[in-house]
A and B are shown apart, each in its own frame.
Chain A
Amino acid sequence: MDTTYTSAGTPILDMSEEEYHDFLDREVQARIGLSVDEFVRRVNIGEIDWDHPEAFSLAGLVGVGEGGLVQPASPSGHRQPA
């Protein structure tokens, strides 16, 4: 993992794909007891228990839609109207 800093001193952490996968895997395992791959699989086929207190937040951490591993409910993202 490479660390650089903004001019304001904020660290920017750059992880390889493998490091980032491990980063997500540790969090999903610790919070819900699944591997990140299994969590993503269950979310994408609609078999996750959304009443688990960590499920929603882990979907956010893993990422939904473009730039994430979880597929959105529709191609447009099925975004909630403002």
Chain B
Amino acid sequence: MLNGTVSDARLSLVSRPYSATRFLIGRVQGARPVPFELHGSSLRLYVEHDVDLADDKAHTAAYRYVLQAGDQHDSWLVRWEYLRDRPAGYPYALGHLHIRADFDERLGESSCGSPGIRSPRRRRSALSDCVDRGSERWMRLSV
């Protein structure tokens, strides 16, 4: 669905030699997963989506959708992530959204790393409450 809508970039299916039924969906170039360009934006979208094929259906095992400012992973702005199975010792929710944000007292807005992503303070949502409380540069929100 992403091909031809938000981007012309082509996603690939990568088979996993450790499993006959699990595939990684992502954009792979030069044997590395890379983000793809978006129509009308300089931002990039990075996609990793793992599926298990069973009974002619695809079951999600994990995903990671990252909106980022450039090609580098550390330029991420928003990360939406999920793991079906909990790794040992992992303490947080298995599905979560990370927002890279600073609270700008002067503007009264929460700026999420990009001038185009803002959460007005007077419209108190769970998201903006959480962003307001955070002094860290990134935080976790259970979804």
Contacts and interface: CB of A to CB of B under 8 A. Distances in A.
Q: Are A and B part of the same complex?
A: yes
Interface of A: 1, 6, 9-17, 19-20, 22-23, 26-27, 30-31, 43-46, 48, 50, 53-54, 56-57, 59-61, 63-74, 77-80
Contacts of A69: 18
A67 B21 contact: yes
Interface of B: 10-19, 21-22, 24, 28, 31-33, 48, 50, 52, 61-64, 73-74, 76, 79, 81-95, 98, 138
9 contacts: A10-B11, A11-B13, A13-B14, A60-B50, A63-B16, A67-B16, A67-B22, A72-B88, A80-B94
A66 B19 contact: yes
Contact of B32 (A10, A27, A44, A70): A27
A14 B61 contact: no
Contacts of A61: 24, 33, 48, 50, 62, 64
Contacts of A6: 13
Chain B interface SS verdict (over half): strand
Contact of B95 (A46, A50, A80): A80
A72 B83 CA distance: 11
Contacts of B87: 43, 59, 64, 70-73
Contacts of A16: 17
Contact of A46 (B73, B85, B88, B98): B88
Contacts of A59: 83, 87, 90
Contacts of B18: 17, 20, 63, 67-69
Q: Which of B83, B92, B94 has the most CB of A within 10 A?
A: B83
Given A10-B10, A77-B85, A77-B86, A60 B48 contact: yes
Given A11-B13, A50-B92, A65-B85, A60 B19 contact: no
B85 A56 contact: no
Contacts of A80: 86, 93-95
